[in-house]
Amino acid sequence: MYNEAAATARKPVTIPALQAMKAHGEKIAMLTCYDASFAAQLEAAGVDVALVGDSLGMVVQGRRSTLPVTLEEIAYHTAAVARGLEATLLIADLPYMSYRDVAHAREAAARLIGQCGAGMLKLEGGGWVCGIIADLVAREAPVCAHLGLTPQAVHRLGGYRVQGREPDAAERLLADARAVQEAGAAMLVLEAVPAPLAARVTATLNIPVIGIGAGAGCDGQVLVLYDMLGITPGKRPKFSRDFLAGAGGVSAALKAYVDAVRGGRFPAAEHQY
């Protein structure tokens, strides 16, 4: 049950605080979120970071991919989630083509941070996005990068497949990770990459690395909220776990997730590649 007194007693989770958690070896617990009610539950459970992911296109809207999600839709959900949070850091995804150039990226940042309450933006890819990252950071818009399986590139990748298995691909991913950090990204999400590669990236970078299907060697973990509660229709990803099963309720499931991440019990061997 949501405990307002306990939630408001938490110190705000800031970007420097996440950096300190990495330095001290403290695991970061992150979940996606799409509305104020679930946001309040995440807050009470002690989740460090809430992500308004473009995953909402699939788990909320029932679409086949994240590609149709618009900036307007992300803005709507970001504002809703912000109303349920006090201490938890809020990240908003930049949806497909919303950061195709500097002008559009700045417009998206002004909307999501300036108007909707996000504290950071997340965008996918390496290479050309480094210029976008540098421009946003120079204008005080913090950025979380996203490498590995990048859902907005589903057509180029040929589906939702593990990335970085081959030596050349692994080296390219490591180079991209270094590049986004150099461009100014304050955090990195690694999705669906072999655990040894993710651990190598985490050890190489100074910024926190959050894994999703990237093994236990990352600085923290993120899951899609509905996957973690076992309510996503169809087959869940290998890297997910149903924390609601046997928990007795949503609040207990969220707390179990946070405890498992902090204690290094999630992800286990069966959740990684």
* Under 8 Å between Cβ of 125 and 151: no
* Model pLDDT, residue 27: 98
| Catalytic residue annotation | 191
Query: Which sign, positive or negative, has the C-alpha torsion 102, 78, 83, 47?
Result: negative
- What is the pLDDT of the chain when averaged over all its residues? 96
If pLDDT is split at 50, 70 and 90, which confidence band does 3 have?
very low
Q: What is the pLDDT of residues 81-110, one digit of tens each?
A: 999 999 999 999 999 999 999 999 999 999
CATH architecture, domain defined by 4-271: Alpha-Beta Barrel (3.20)
Using the predicted structure, report yes or no on whether residue 219 has a pLDDT greater than 60. Answer: yes
Among 255, 6, 8, 16, CA closest to 119? 16
Judge whether residue 4 has pLDDT over 60: no
Beta pairing, strands 187-191 & 209-212: parallel
Dihedral sign computed on CA atoms, order 112, 28, 58, 213: positive
Max distance between CA atoms of the chain, in angstroms, equals: 51
Please tell me the predicted confidence (pLDDT) of residue 211.
98
Note the pLDDT tens digit of each residue in 156-202: 999 999 999 999 999 999 999 999 999 999 999 999 999 999 999 99
